[in-house]
Amino acid sequence: PRRTRVHHLQEMKARGERWPMLTAYDVNTARIFDEAGVPVLLVGDSAGNTVLGYDTTVPVTTEELLVLTRAVVRGAPRALVVADLPFGSYQVSVEQAVTTAVEFMKSAGAHAVKLEGGAHYADRIRAVVDAGIPVMAHLGFTPQSEHALGGYRVQGRGDDGAEKLLADARAVTEAGAFAVVLEMVPAHVAKRVTAEVPIPTVGIGAGPECDAQVLVWTDMAGLSDPARRTPRFVKRYAEMGSVLADAASTYAQEVREGTFPGPEHSFD
Ligand code: KIV
Ligand code: NA
């Protein structure tokens, strides 16, 4: 099978073809999403919430994401695998950003990296791109900065907000990013950014006019803890949580009753 490449995404934008991205954190989801035809998989630092059980993405480490990235790469023969650079692994300096990005490529086999930030991080983006590593940027609500942003809030509202978002989108494009995630921004602002920058925009809570969309797979498949509030921008396409709960409780019941294992599961 042919691997999705960065230039394919650019070509899809030129043709006006929308494409989906999903997060993946392990080999089975990577294989399933790849076979389902999802061309780009993101090993998001949302793993901090969805896999590791932290309240935020702030504590996630490079080591943790390297392990998950290796698993996703092994499971996905076709998808372009993008690895999130975790908080603290690129903020310190341009040099740190390149070192971390190189590690994801070299030791985990990622095909691209993603980092959060606009004009202020253009120097990091430029340096990583110069190292031969495709970079996906991430603007709007950037979860690694949630304490600075005052929690989960829509970004880019009002004239100033929209202008700043546009300026950031231009800056990351200029720095060489191959795509840009727009998280929780008004639909009309995302539409404007999509029209004005030549690179694909990947929306999450950014309306229908982006070139691409991304969702966290555990949200979209209904595996996330139902006690946690599901954001407005999530659509649940399945109820994996109840499917798994039913399987686990039926298994538990059959073990207790002595109906599992049956003769067909046993050796002579
Ligand atoms: O970590 C993540 O899952 C992300 C996407 C929501 C864009 O950054
Ligand atoms: Na992320």
Is residue 239 domain-resident? yes
Query: What distance in angstroms lies between residue 179's CA and the mean position of ligand 1's atoms?
Result: 14
The pLDDT, as a whole number, for residue 256 is 98
Question: Which of the residues 116, 183, 254, 257 is marked catalytic?
Answer: 183
Structural domain range at position 45: 6-258
Per-residue pLDDT at 209 exceeds 80: yes
pLDDT digits (tens, 9 = 90+) for 106-149: 999 999 999 999 999 999 999 999 999 999 999 999 999 999 99
Whether 267 is covered by a domain: the verdict is no
* Residue 202 located in a structural domain: yes
Q: Does ligand 1 have an atom closer than 6 angstroms to the CB of 23?
A: yes
Q: Is residue 264 part of a domain?
A: no
- Give pLDDT tens digits for 57-68: 999 999 999 999
> How many separate domains does the chain show?
1
Complex ipTM? 0.99
In this structure, which residues have their CB less than 5 angstroms from ion ligand 2?
Answer: 44-45, 84
Q: Is the per-residue pLDDT at 1 higher than 80?
A: no
CATH (domain of 226) = 3.20.20.60
183 noted as active-site residue: yes
- In whole angstroms, what is the distance from residue 28 CA to residue 150 CA? 35
pLDDT band of 53, cuts 50, 70, 90: very high
Nearest C-alpha neighbor of 103 from the set 80, 131, 78: 131
In a domain, 164, yes or no: yes
Phi-psi region of 156 (alpha: psi -120 to 50; beta: other; left: phi over 0): left
Where does the pLDDT of residue 263 fall: very low under 50, low under 70, confident under 90, or very high at 90 and above?
A: very high
Q: Give domain status of residue 102, yes or no.
A: yes
CA–CA distance, 200 with 136 (Å, rounded to integer):
10
Residue 143 lies in a domain: yes
Report whether 62 contacts 45 (CB < 8 A).
no
